[in-house]
Structure 1
Amino acid sequence: MNMKMNIQGGGTAGSAGGGRSAAQKAAPVSPAASLKRLLVYMKKHRPLVIFTVIIAAAGTLMQVFTPKLLGGATTLIFQGLQSRTGIDLAALAGVLVSAALLYLGIFLASFLQERLMTVVSLRTTETLRNAVKAKLNRVPVSYFDKHSTGDMMSLAVNDIDNIAQNLQQSLTQLISSVILLAGTLIIMITISPLLTLLSCFMVPASILTAKIFTPPAQRHNKKYFAGLGSLNGCIEESCNNFTVIKSFSGEAEALAAFRSSNADVCESGWRARFFGQSMMHIMMFTQNIVYVLIAALGALRVIAGGLLIGNLQAFLQYSQQFASPVARLSSIWGSFLSAIASAERIFILLDTEEMEENAGAPEIQSGAAKVVFDSVTFGYSDMPLMKNFSLEVEEGRTVAIVGHTGAGKTTLVNLLERFYEIQEGVIRVDGEDIRGLDRPVLRRRIGMVLQDTWLFSGTILDNIKYGKPGASDEEVITAARAAYAESFILQLPDGYNTELTEDAGNISQGQRQLITIARAFLSDPEILILDEATSNVDSRTEMIVQKAMKELMRNRTSFVIAHRLSTIYSADRIVVMDHGDVAETGTHRELIERDGIYADIYHSQFRQAA
């Protein structure tokens, strides 16, 4: 959003900074480091987490004591039936009431810990999502060149939702399972060390199963979430280019690309879930075998008189309780692997190198600014597009930038806006190196009107006001009149309060351009950049826009990028670029007389018009 504000000129840019090497990827993050770092985001909610742990511990301890209590009830009934005195109903009633109270306590503890962990997990992911959004405001523009919108949306939505879901489900289960495992083991040892030893067979089986299934589960989880990002990118691209797809009958190709991406997600998704859930099912199978062996051996000990029948019943329940957290830990580990895969993707973004801040940078003086490109070298890759490029534009002058496609026209203004950092040389505004200026300060002084319009869902009033958020409605109306936009705005059903749909599809392309021009008027910049600003309007509207542009450029240092040379005849100076360098410079008449590149472009357009 902030980047769009900068492009349209005016307003406060999102985050300052100067990017070092544009979109370098951070080094991959290890699972252990990701888990540790994820828990750091929960530090803010430490009191709630501690309270949840206490409640979980209390509930689990009640769960540990319940089988022993019920085993005592079974022993009372068995001994009462064997004796002549009968069953001690008062003692039995006391045991059953105590058990009922324990079960009620278990229910309340479970309810409270789920409720609290829901709050903790959602607040944690809220913090993460805010961090991701803030980070996207601080990364260099080149980061967006190398990452699809769909993938970034998947990071901010799918990956963070996955973390929230697994935190909520797994963390309380992990706490309960560890406490239940320890408490159950202690009680089991007091009942029968021999049967306890048999139950402990579950532990090495669990470790071995986790060791076998963890690597493939982790690998496929990473592949799944990366594929999900690609799938979102495919969908987003198809929606944005729907008209193009229809126009060229490309539905079959678009559908084939979607199916291929969807198949990859499906394949990696079921494999990730298969390996993740298999750990739990294998442990359940092992648990059932151990349960049968304990029941058989325990029955023999009861017959031999070495174990009370109530204790056998309690031990069988404890063996289930002991096996349950072991199997559950395998399931929890699978869920954690999924959360870690998402966390790693998020942390790679959060560790991406940011644009540098320029704290205490000087302000640019108001008024028309002098702009100097001094021996600038720049390239989007290892091959430089500009090499030792120099250009000087006096304050208040209009300079037109022309040249063939790929000559470096748009790159020039991108460097002036500091969307990209130059590799060598210096760019000065009023004698100040722009790398020493705060980006918001620099961009508040620069207004841009592009060939592609950037409008947002909302009213026309809000879209124009985006160039100067604190502007009054009267200032907005004045800017719209100056841009000759008010005539069509007042014809709309709600005038300035007309709601624009996504991509402003409910108004024409020319009307969208007039709104962006009104935004530039409102921002009142010292430096103005017009990049093919009239290319999407008809001839009649172009005349109106040109008149507005002439007024807008008065007393401002202006850069006009144009392919149609008819729009730049009156420029103070025309700079012809070729392969990132200045090939020719002069007025329209001088360049025509020189009979060079400019004259060739001019005559080719004249022949096309004829």
Structure 2
Amino acid sequence: MAINKHSSTIKRVMGCIGRYKWGVSASLFCALLTVLLTLYIPVLIGQAIDCIVGIGDVNFQAMWVILKQMGIVILLTSVSQWLMSHINNWITYRVVKDIRTQAFNKLEVLPLKYIDSHSHGDIISRIIADIDQFSDGLLMGFTQLFTGVLTIIGTLIFMFYINPTIAVVVVVVTPVSLFVASFIAKKTYYLFQMQSKTRGELTSLVEEMMGNQKVVQAFGHEKEAQHKFENINEELRIWALKATFFSSITNPSTRFVNSLVYACVGISGAFAAINGLLTIGQLTSFLNYANQYTKPFNEISGVITELQNALASAARVFELIDEESQIPDNPNAAVLMDATGEIHLNSVDFSYNPEVTLIQDMNLLVKPGQRVAIVGPTGCGKSTVINLLMRFYDVDAGSIEVDGMDIRHLTRESLRASYGMVLQETWLKSGTIRENIAYGKSDASEEEMILAAKEAHAHSFIERMPNGYDTVITEDGGNLSQGQKQLLCIARVMLCLPPMLILDEATSSIDTRTEVKIQKAFAKMMEGRTSFIVAHRLSTIREADVILVMKDGHIIEQGTHETLLSQDGFYAQLYNSQFAVS
């Protein structure tokens, strides 16, 4: 199974490289030219040595010609090597860019259930760390693998040309080096794969701790977090040490075999020279070739080790890329334009886990402009309804219709653009306050943006910031209070004002005085717009046209605030419990 996966990864990588065929061809040409010129130098050295016949008998004129030839060959070799390196860099970083783009594009179309069920740190590690690791291995492979293989082939040809018998000796000893390198390569792939996996777990933990450091410290969880970090870090150390150990013995092992080859060439060549079968210059050339022949084995063994690491990392990235995407929009999907806001949930069934039922046979008809409040205990399915309305998840059975059209037959972009959403969990991006407010309407004018901020009661605190609307806030608004972040999120929706609104605990982090102002702004914003309000504080939804009381995925009560109180049912219990004296 692991071998098939390894082969599949290699094919995928070769397919990515294959897009740049002309670059690969140019690199191979430069590698071939470099090798041929490099291998020609020992011939010139041998000829120069043969110009020295004896003491005081040196053919300087012939030697000078040879030295000039050597200078030209060395210069051409340098230019060829530089070009090859430049082309290899060009190919490598474009291949890496393509793969990283594929991975990020996949992230954009992954179903929300994948994001919810996988560690965010591990996903980040695949897109950043694993691709960087792959880049390093691929670059080394391009730089050394081509020239290494061509050097081995070239030196064999030259050696057979000079003396076939000694060349046969070299070929006979060579398989020992190949066997050693192959044995170690198989070991290192698995070890590097486990190293990448553990590195992803470590990244995930660090990302989790960084994002929730206040909570960790508030609950005195530092020692437990440190203990967990040390355990994973120790596991990473063990895998890394094993991987490094096996990869490090490759070079010494092949060097031993290469030295053995060099010794065999030296001894057999010496006897051949004594018997007049070789000149001293030819023997020198042969020894140079033996050295150049064995050197690539050391480099290739190192390349193979790095490639094992790179392929293990690439396999993790390809796993992400191969994840099943969300169901794409139907080619004939309609674009929702100027929605009136009529929404119909027809016999809807949905569960995050097929073994655990959540929403069953939910039916609801919301008329245009109605304000619908959804209440109920934690885990009853309130936020799940929002996920279904926005089509973050698709229903298991039944249908949800907007203006009489099944939302599965609408484009996701047009559906979501028709909703304005303010969630309990605020989200702001790193950038200016201006950019965050205009996130959903980048072409908004300055006047529109300021008006939206004023209606959200955010303008006054923004003006007190160092640079007003141009103040840069950190990722997720870390330098703002929770209430201020929520005000900005509300201003963002105020600017767009789509025909349908979703307010999920939208005022949960705002003080009572500000909340009164926000409720007035919401009332203005909701005029003529279909609105869904999810709230735990029931006092905030008295004015709702319809209140849906949910329990265990079912709507158990439905009506206005006064009607539900008069029924003295579950809603009345929830409402009165807020004022109960413990």
TM-score (norm 2): 0.96
Partner in structure 2 of residue 370 of structure 1: 342
Equivalent of residue 60 in structure 1, options 35, 42, 46: 35
**Where do residues 24-103 of structure 1 align in structure 2 (5 Å cutoff)?**
30-77=5-52, 79-81=53-55, 86-103=57-74
Asked whether the 8 Å contact 1:480–1:515 carries over to 2, the reply is yes
Which residue of the partner structure matches residue 491 of structure 2?
A: 518
Give the Cα–Cα distance (whole angstroms) in 1 for the partners of residues 442 and 571 of structure 2. Answer: 41
Q: Deviation per CA, 1:19-38, whole angstroms, max 9, x where unpaired?
A: xxxxxxxx997222222222
CA distance in 1, matches of 2:500, 2:224: 44
For 1:183 and 1:298, the matched residues in 2 are separated by 19
Q: Is the partner of 2:235 in helix, strand or coil?
A: helix
Secondary structure of the 1:42 match is helix
Given that 2:339 and 2:418 are in contact with CA atoms closer than 8 Å, whether structure 1 keeps it comes out as no
Which residue matches 2:570? 597
* CA deviation string 1:524-555 (max 9, x = no partner): 11111110001101111111111111111111
2:522 aligned residue: 549
- 1: distance between equivalents of 2:438 and 2:118? 30
1:375 is matched by which residue type in structure 2?
S
Residues 1:566 and 1:342: Cα distance change in structure 2 (over 3 Å)? same
Aligned residues: 579
Instruction: Show CA shifts across 1:297-337 (max 9, x none).
Output: 22222223232221111111111111112232222222221
Judging changes above 3 Å, is the alpha-carbon distance between structure 1 residues 394 and 162 closer, same or farther for their aligned structure 2 residues?
same
Instruction: Determine whether 1:178 maps to 2:149.
Output: yes
Gaps (5+ residues) in structure 1?
Answer: 1-26
Corresponding residue SS for 1:388: strand
Q: Which residue of 2 aligns with 1:440?
A: 413
Equivalent position SS for 1:305: coil
Are 2:264 and 1:274 equivalent residues in the alignment? no
How high is the TM-score relative to the length of structure 1?
0.92
Letter in 1 for 2:58: I
- State yes or no: 1:558 paired with 2:531: yes
Name the CA distance, whole Å, in 1 between partners of 2:415 and 2:572: 35
Counterpart in the other structure of 1:13:
none
Larger mean Cα displacement after TM superposition, 223-232 or 403-412:
223-232
Rounded Cα–Cα distance in structure 1 between residues aligned with 2:453 and 2:167: 83
The one of 289, 292, 310 aligned to 2:263? 292
Whether the 8 Å contact between 1:29 and 1:348 is mirrored in structure 2 is no
CA contact (8 A) 1:573 1:587 kept: yes
Q: Once the 2 structures are TM-superposed, how far is the Cα of residue 260 of structure 1 from its aligned partner? A: 1.5
Deviation at residue 226 of structure 1 after TM alignment: 1.2
Contact kept? 1:396, 1:554, Cα under 8 Å: yes
Kept in 1, the 8 Å contact 2:152–2:296? The answer is yes
Provide the C-alpha distance between the structure 2 equivalents of 1:446 and 1:29, rounded to a whole number of angstroms: 46
| Contact preservation (8 Å) 2:337, 2:414 | no
Partner of 2:92: 121
Shift of the alpha carbon at 1:424? 0.7
**320-329 vs 535-544, which moves further:** 320-329
User: 2:500 is matched with which residue?
Assistant: 527
CA distance in 2, matches of 1:494, 1:330: 57
**Pairing 1:250–2:225 present:** no
Shift of 1:233: 0.7
Give, in angstroms, the shift of residue 560 of structure 1.
Answer: 0.5
Aligned to 2:451: 478
**1:533–1:28 Cα change, 3 Å:** farther
Taking the aligned partners of 2:134 and 2:397, their CA distance within structure 1 comes to: 43
* SS of aligned partner of 1:122: helix
1:37-436 to 2 correspondences below 5 Å: 37-77=12-52, 79-81=53-55, 86-355=57-326, 356-382=328-354, 383-436=356-409
How much identity, in percent, do the aligned residues show?
A: 38
Counterpart CA distance in 1 for 2:426 and 2:323 is 29
Q: Once the 2 structures are TM-superposed, how far is the Cα of residue 263 of structure 1 from its aligned partner?
A: 1.7
- 8 Å CA contact retained: 2:339, 2:403: no
8 Å Cα contact 2:51-2:58 kept in structure 1: yes
Greater relative contact order, per chain length (Cα 8 Å cut-off, separation 6+): 1
> Match of 1:54, as an amino acid?
F
Q: Aligned to 1:318, what secondary structure does the other structure show?
A: helix
Q: What's the counterpart of residue 490 of structure 1? A: 463
Q: Secondary structure at the match of 1:322?
A: helix
Amino acid at match of 1:148: S
Residue 599 of structure 1 and its aligned partner are, at CA, apart by: 1.3
Contact 1:141 1:419 in 2 (8 A): yes
Q: Is the 8 A contact 1:577 1:583 kept in 2?
A: yes
Could you report, residue by residue, the CA deviation over 1:59-114 in whole angstroms, capped at 9, with x for unpaired residues? 1101111112211212221x244xxx811111111122222222222222222211
Amino acid at match of 1:47: W
Contact 1:28 1:348 in 2 (8 A): no
Correspondence for 1:504 among 453, 463, 477? 477
In structure 2, distance between residues paired with 1:504 and 1:534? 17
Tell me if the contact between 1:114 and 1:168 (Cα under 8 Å) persists in the aligned partners: no
| Counterpart Cα distance in 2 of 1:134 and 1:246 | 36
- Whether contact under 8 Å (2:170, 2:264) holds in the other structure is no
Q: Tell me the secondary structure at the aligned position of residue 51 of structure 2.
A: helix
RMSD: 1.7
Q: 1:606 to 1:368 in 2, by over 3 A?
A: farther
Q: After superposition, what is the alpha-carbon deviation per residue over 1:330-363, rounded to whole angstroms, capped at 9, x for unaligned?
A: 2222222111111111111111111212334223
Structure-2 change in CA distance of 1:480 and 1:335 (3 Å): same
Query: How far apart are the structure 2 equivalents of 1:311 and 1:404?
Result: 91
